[in-house]
Structures are given as structure tokens and as C-alpha cells.
Chain A
């Protein structure tokens, strides 16, 4: 039986185009509605326009990093669930992320199935 699209909307914010495309494919396969932003400022704008249920946010981005992006998002949106993705995790960014009420902090590399599972659980909570 063909799987129907869910009502969940997910916003991906990452400056790496290949990773963005890969995650988009994986999540669309799971029938999520996916929007992509390749910078923090685009992500802030798309969050306002699309009102997603969950944001997947890369920490290390040029110009505006993930924490700064999330600080801006939280000024107007304290509800959206956020999963932080990072290849360079350290306690400083973990504490910042916790202060900004993230759902999950996930270190790269990760398996696609782990990402799908974490998103699914974050949306259910």
C-alpha cells in the first residue's frame, strides 16, 4: 500500500548542499514535507513562512552559525522542535543548545535510520 504523506513539516538548515540533498531524500522517503535552507538567515525566513513542526539545524555554518540562527528563531517561535546536528560537538555548544530548548543534540556522522527514528520520536513527544 502506498504510504501517504504525513502532516509533519520539517525544515533542514545546513550549508552543505550534498548533506542537505541526502537528508531531504531520506525524509521525503518517510513522507515528510521537507523544506531546505542553506544558511541561517534563509532558515529564519523559511521558519516564519512555512511554520515547520521540526527543524534540523547544523551548528557550523558560515556567517551565522547554528546557535545564532536558533537564538533568532526563538525570538518569535518558542514552540518549534529543534534537532541540532554537529560534527564538532563540545560542552559549550551543548549548554547553549540546552538553553535554547532543543529536543535533541546529535553528533555527525549518524546513520539515516537513527536520524529518522530521532525525528519520529521528537515529533511524537
Chain B
């Protein structure tokens, strides 16, 4: 008999302003974060993606007081709510949505290994700063190659985090960047329901979603 627990998995694209901000908050150099030049089209694409996700998830009528949230890039650090709030205050639709779920009584869980996140941030920052004139495709390929190993380590940590923190009767909801392969790992322990509306790759760029 199949008695796998249900898990809601939401593949997301990272907005430019979200990428690396958590690490920079932890570093204490938020103002010196990767330079972000947002344009109207990118902002509109991000907002529309999250509006679609919110509508789809709203339609699921989930039991929020029995739901535990796991978020890509959110470290286990004791300041999880503060990080979410600061992202939300800066206008991140991703974290505004998370904050909305918390207000509906969903529980927030630190999800990622802080050291791995900082390594990831440093890698991305280094590449963007030092290779600004390189061809975009070459830049992405270089970043992908180096971050692949880190991503596997991050996914292994997240899997362990979910299985070790989820309480009996709780429903996990996981917001994770599309290039993570956590979904493959989770399918062994959970019945995974995917929530996907639209993923505007071209509008949002790819290096932050590599």
C-alpha cells in the first residue's frame, strides 16, 4: 500500500533582487550587494509569475495551520522570519507571498545550510564581478559547472532538513529554484504535487536561475 506523505513543490525562478541578498544580509554588507538594474518588463514578469503561483496555491485550500514552508535560499540561522521580512519589505514578491502564508498561520522553517549558501553567493558574485565582459553564455556555463557540486550538497541538506523537521500531520510546501534537483530526491519519500503556472525565463534572465 502506498502511504507516502503529500508534499507541495513549487518550482520558481529567482528574481535578480533576491539572488544573493540573504547571503549579503548575513555578511552585513547588504548595500554592497550585486548591482541590480531592474526594468519594468522584468518586474512585471516576476509579479505575474507570483500572482499565478498565489492563485494556483489559493485554489488548493491547504490547511495553513498544519503547513510547513521550506524556501530556497533561506538559511537555518535563527533569524529566518527576519530575513523573510526584510526581503518582503524590499518588495520581493516571493517573500511577500511567504509572509502572507505565515500570517495565515503556516510555519516557516530554516531550509538551507548557511555555509553552502555563502559559498554559492561568493561564487556568483565573483563571476559577475570579474567577468563582466565575457560572453553571457560562457559566463553561465562557467557558473553552472562550478555550482553543480554545491547544488547537490545544498539539495542533500534540504532533503534532510525537510524529513527531520516535518511534524506528524503536517503538509510541507517547498519553494525551490528550477535548477535544483531536490524534486528527484523527494520523490522517494513523498508523493510530490507540483504547482506550476508560468516561468518567464527570457524576461527574468538565466544566470540567477542556473
Residue numbers of A with Cβ under 8 A of B are 81, 89-92, 94-95, 97-98, 101-107, 110, 114, 118, 121-122, 124-125
Are A95's CB and B203's CB within 8 A? no
Cβ of B198 within 8 Å of any chain A Cβ, yes or no, is: yes
With A and B bound together, what is the CA distance between A45 and B199 in angstroms? 27
Are B45's CB and A98's CB within 8 A? no
Q: Which residues of B contact A107 (CB under 8 A)?
A: 196-198
Are B198's CB and A94's CB within 8 A? no
| Interface size range of chain B in the complex | 20 to 34
Cβ of B24 within 8 Å of any chain A Cβ, yes or no, is: no
Cβ of B159 within 8 Å of any chain A Cβ, yes or no, is: no
Residue of B with least CB distance to A114:
B198
User: Given the interface contacts A91-B178, A91-B183, does A98 sit within 8 Å of B201 by beta carbon?
Assistant: yes
Are B194's CB and A91's CB within 8 A? yes
Q: Which residues of A contact B202 (CB under 8 A)?
A: 81, 102-104, 122, 125
Are B199's CB and A104's CB within 8 A? yes
Main secondary structure of the interface of B (DSSP, over half): mixed
Residue of B with least CB distance to A89:
B196
Q: Which residues of B contact A90 (CB under 8 A)?
A: 183, 194, 196
User: Given the interface contacts A98-B178, A98-B179, does A105 sit within 8 Å of B203 by beta carbon?
Assistant: no
Cβ of B11 within 8 Å of any chain A Cβ, yes or no, is: yes
With A and B bound together, what is the CA distance between A106 and B45 in angstroms? 13
Are B41's CB and A105's CB within 8 A? no
**B11, B41, B199, B206 interface centre (most CB from chain A within 10 Å):** B199
Residue of A with least CB distance to B192:
A90
Interface string of B20-31 (1 = CB under 8 A from A): 000000000000
Q: Which residues of B contact A122 (CB under 8 A)?
A: 202
Residue of B with least CB distance to A107:
B196
Are A125's CB and B197's CB within 8 A? no
Cβ of B147 within 8 Å of any chain A Cβ, yes or no, is: no
- Assuming A81-B202, A91-B11, what are 10 further A-B pairs, CB within 8 angstroms? A89-B196, A90-B183, A91-B183, A94-B196, A98-B179, A103-B200, A103-B201, A103-B202, A105-B199, A106-B197
Are A105's CB and B196's CB within 8 A? yes
With A and B bound together, what is the CA distance between A90 and B195 in angstroms? 9
- Nearest first, the 6 A-B pairs at minimum CB distance are A103-B202, A89-B196, A105-B199, A91-B183, A107-B196, A106-B198
> Could you give 23 example pairs across A and B, Cβ below 8 Å?
A81-B202, A89-B194, A90-B194, A90-B196, A91-B184, A91-B194, A94-B11, A95-B179, A98-B178, A98-B201, A102-B201, A103-B201, A103-B203, A104-B199, A104-B203, A105-B196, A106-B198, A106-B199, A121-B45, A121-B200, A121-B203, A122-B202, A125-B203
